[in-house]
């Protein structure tokens, strides 16, 4: 545990919750949902770490990093976001709502389909980290509440760092497996489409169930919440940076990159535009 990188990592104590500008966030229902849903998904990280560690069994470098650094950091994201929710919206029964979420979420993780090869799974992981990095960067930009801005920025930095690790592992496996661009593109496309997947929907549903139980079965209301959250992310994301991260594993020559940039950009718009 006492590796260099882990020691250098921030802790929840670095966040000064007493500095939270309550008047800027407390009545923002959309922000509440963005933070609470993220706290659920991050807190459930250990469910799928297991699958991944199994998948990379024998590759010490990868499995050691996954369980000593990656999982710890994702869980810390969950803890910090939860602490923020509990500070600003103390009436929200986090624990109880999370238990409901976990029960359903666990059934997804069991059937979570990993990519057909280790190299392709690494490229898929790059997509997932691109998605989370984008989410938190957008969250940071969307608020002028200093503590949430600070927290979301720290988490976004971690997600970019996760991306870099997965990208490095990807390159090693790509070489080993002799992966072609089209296979990588297929995986990236599929995972990008899955980014706004059932995970988020499941989290939102369970937050609603605890927040406004009378509307839990109102699918139009729940869908509306999701759409507003997506709009916040879309308005505050930097498409250039996201696109660059998504395309990097393809390692396209500059000339080809210019050609495919537009269709990929359209595709991304489509993903974030629901
Ligand atoms: Fe995270
Ligand atoms: Fe991450």
| 261 pLDDT more than 60 | yes
Distance CA 167, CA 196 (A): 21
- CA separation for the pair 75, 43 (Å, rounded): 5
- How many whole angstroms from 249 Cα to the centroid of ligand 1? 21
Distance 1 CA to ligand 2 centre (A): 18
Q: Number of structural domains, the chain? A: 1
Q: SS3 sequence, the chain?
A: CCCHHHHHCCCHHHCCHHHCCHHHHCCCHHHHHHHHHHHHHHHCHHHHHHHHHHHCCCCHHHHHHHHHHHHHHHHHHHHHHHHHHHHHCCCCCHHHHHHHHHHHHHHHHHCCCCCCCHHHHHHHHHHHHHHHHHHHHHHHHHCCCHHHHHHHHHHHHHHHHHHHHHHHHHHHHHHHHCCCHHHHHHHHHHHHHHCCCHHHHHHHHHHHHHHCHHHCCCHHHHHHHHHHHHHHHHHHCCHHHHHHHHHHHHCCCHHHHHHHHHHHHHHHHHHHCC
> How many A from CA of 246 to the centre of ligand 1?
17
Question: Mind listing the pLDDT tens digit for each residue in 21-77?
Answer: 999 999 999 999 999 999 999 999 888 888 899 999 999 999 999 999 999 999 999
Question: Given a cut of 70, is residue 7 above it in pLDDT?
Answer: no
At residue 3 the predicted structure's pLDDT band, cuts being 50, 70 and 90, is: very low
Ligand number, closest to the Cα atom of 159: 2
Q: How far apart are CA 35 and CA 146, in angstroms?
A: 14
Confidence check: pLDDT of 226 > 60: yes
- Those residues whose C-beta lies under 8 Å from the C-beta of residue 180, and which sit 6 or more positions away, are none
Instruction: Note the ligand closest to the C-alpha atom of 77.
Output: 1
The mean pLDDT value for 121-125 works out to 93
Q: How far is the CA of 259 from the centre of ligand 1 (A)?
A: 32
Residue 76 maps to a domain:
yes
Name residues with Cβ closer than 5 Å to ligand 2, which is an ion.
129, 159, 162
Contact 177, 194 (CB under 8 A): no
pTM: 0.91
Domain assignment present for residue 245? The answer is yes
Instruction: Report whether pLDDT(243) > 90.
Output: no
CA angle 163, 56, 40 (to 5 degrees): 55
Question: Is residue 71 domain-resident?
Answer: yes
pLDDT tens string 138-176: 999 999 999 999 999 999 999 999 999 999 999 999 999
Task: Output the pLDDT for position 251.
Answer: 82
Q: Is residue 5 part of a domain?
A: no
Instruction: Average the pLDDT over each of 32-36, 238-242, 258-262 and give the range with the smallest value.
Output: 258-262
Cα of 242 vs centre of ligand 2, distance in Å, is 15
CA of 105 to the centre of ligand 1 (A): 16
Domain containing residue 138: 12-272
CATH number of the domain where residue 119 is located: 1.10.620
Rounded Cα distance between 208 and 32, Å, is 11
Give pLDDT, residue 146.
97
**In this predicted structure, what is the pLDDT of residue 15?**
94
Q: Is 238 a member of any domain?
A: yes
Flag whether 194 is in a domain: yes
Taking the centre of ligand 2 as the mean of its atom positions, its distance from the CA of residue 71, in whole angstroms, is: 8
pLDDT for res 2 = 44
Residue 3 in any domain: the answer is no
Residue 92 lies in a domain: yes
Cβ atoms 40, 101 nearer than 8 A: yes
Cα(255) to ligand 2 centroid in Å equals 31
Q: Quick check: 263 pLDDT over 90? A: no
End-to-end CA distance of the chain: 41
């Amino acid at each position: 545990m006492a590796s260099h990188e882990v020691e250098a990592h921030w802790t929840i104590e670095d966040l000064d919750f007493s500095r939270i500008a309550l008047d800027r966030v407390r009545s923002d229902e959309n922000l509440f949902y963005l933070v609470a849903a993220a706290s659920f998904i991050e807190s459930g990280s250990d469910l799928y770490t297991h699958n991944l560690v199994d998948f990379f069994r024998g590759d010490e470098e990868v499995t050691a990093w996954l369980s000593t650094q990656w999982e710890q950091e994702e869980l810390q994201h969950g803890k910090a976001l939860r602490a923020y929710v509990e500070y600003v919206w103390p009436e929200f029964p986090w624990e109880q709502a999370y238990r409901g979420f976990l029960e359903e979420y666990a059934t997804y993780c069991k059937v979570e389909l990993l990519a057909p090869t280790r190299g392709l799974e690494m490229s898929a992981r790059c997509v997932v980290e691109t998605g989370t990095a984008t989410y938190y960067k957008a969250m940071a930009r969307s608020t002028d509440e200093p503590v949430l801005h600070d927290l979301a920025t720290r988490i976004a930095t971690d997600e970019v760092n996760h991306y870099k690790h997965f990208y490095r592992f990807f390159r090693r496996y790509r070489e080993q497996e002799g992966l072609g661009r089209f296979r990588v593109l297929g995986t990236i496309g599929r995972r990008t489409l899955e980014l706004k997947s059932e995970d988020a929907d499941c989290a939102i549903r369970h937050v609603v169930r605890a927040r406004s139980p009378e509307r839990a079965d109102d699918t139009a209301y729940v869908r509306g919440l999701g759409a507003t959250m997506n709009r916040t992310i879309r308005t505050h994301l930097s498409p250039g940076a996201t696109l660059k991260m998504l395309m990097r594993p393809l390692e396209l020559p500059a000339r080809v990159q210019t050609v495919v940039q537009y269709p990929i950009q359209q595709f991304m718009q489509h993903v974030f535009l629901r």
